[in-house]
Amino acid sequence: MKELCDVLQPFAEATDLTQGEKIVTVSSVLPCVLSLNHHLEKLKQQVRFLRSMIHNLQCSLKKRFRGIFVNLKMLSAASGEELPFADPLYIRSAVLDPAFSMMWLQHDVLVTDDIKNDIVDMVKDLILREVRPDTTSQSPGFQEAENENQEEESTGLFSEYRKRRKQDTATNPETQLNNYFGLCCGQACLSFWDANRGILPALFPVAMRAFSVPASSAPVERVFSHGGIIMRPHRARLADKTLSNLIFCKCNTL
């Protein structure tokens, strides 16, 4: 029984992470899948009675999320093969969540260091391709704060150096991405981006587009469940707008 609990406990944790209603969930898909695979790999040599179960779980995991493993070069795919979960969104969202960043690559991607370096380049390219040209400048609020100190720093021996550095940070998405990796260290996702949207203006829209996707249909199904509870037979004369407002209040109450 203890072995069974040890095997399944991380699966319960992954389920909770990917089925939340009021948190970012899509960014946890890739780290959860890779961590579960690594968890099962380590347990193979530790269990006495459940090796067959662990083998079957790992095979099912790799089959269900084959696209993730192929994208990260942990598996190979046949030409023309349809790969579930192959959308680059899962990689982008995980990297742009400061709670995960690139830590999953260090700990749970079971490949050689050379392949990991190739994956880093691939990940950066996936993110930079999503940057829109009109989002590379700093946000108005941040720009106003910068202008207050502009006169103070406009003179001096190395004033041009500072101007160039600020310009590069504001307009170069690649520089912003490198700055992001230096800033993130496990912070809460939405709080981090709210605090740093001014210094990462090119990446902020990319992150928000990615985070808006739910990891599963569970939150949507809960909305319909709430609607069924509210729209009882004795309340059948509720107007559409009233029902919509009641469901909105129910689903967005802290």
| 189-242 pLDDT, tens digit each | 999 999 999 999 999 999 999 999 888 777 778 888 888 888 888 888 888 899
Domain-located, residue 203: no
Whether 202 maps to a domain, the answer reads no
User: Taking a C-beta distance cutoff of 8 angstroms, is the pair 26, 216 a contact?
Assistant: no
Res. 169: pLDDT tops 50: no
In a domain, 82, yes or no: yes
On whether both 127 and 225 belong to a single domain, the answer is no
> Amino acid identity, residue 67?
G
Per the structure block, which two tokens stand in for 17?
A: 């992470």
Residue 102 maps to a domain: yes
Q: Is 15 in contact with 81 (CB distance < 8 Å)?
A: no
Say yes or no: 232 and 115 in one domain.
no
Distance (Å, whole) CA 20 – CA 135? 30
Parent domain of 228:
217-252
> How is residue 69 written in tokens?
């493993």
Report in angstroms the alpha-carbon separations of 1 from 7, 8, 9, 82, 112: 10, 11, 12, 38, 35
How far apart are the C-alpha atoms of 170 and 204, rounded to whole Å? 12
**Residue 27 sits in the same domain as residue 121:** yes
Give tens-digit pLDDT for 3-49: 899 899 999 999 988 887 778 899 999 999 999 999 999 998 888 88
Residues 1 and 104 in one domain: yes
In a domain? residue 148:
no
Residues 127 and 14 in one domain: yes
The confidence band for 142, taking pLDDT boundaries of 50, 70 and 90, is very low
Comparison of pLDDT for 178 and 141, the residue scoring more? 178
Q: What is the greatest pairwise CA distance in the chain?
A: 78
Which of 94, 116, 131 is at the close of a domain?
Answer: 131
Out of 70, 105, 131, pick the residue that ends a domain: 131
How many separate helices (H) and strands (E) can be counted in the chain? 14, 0
pLDDT band at 144 (very low <50, low <70, confident <90, very high): low
- Specify if 10 maps to a domain: yes
Q: How many domains does the chain have?
A: 2
Terminal-residue alpha carbon distance, the chain = 37
Domain boundary among 87, 110, 131: 131
Q: 166 lies in a domain?
A: no
Inter-residue contact 198 to 226 (CB < 8 Å)? no
In this structure, the answer to whether residues 2 and 123 fall within a common structural domain is yes
165 inside domain: no
The pTM for the full model equals 0.76
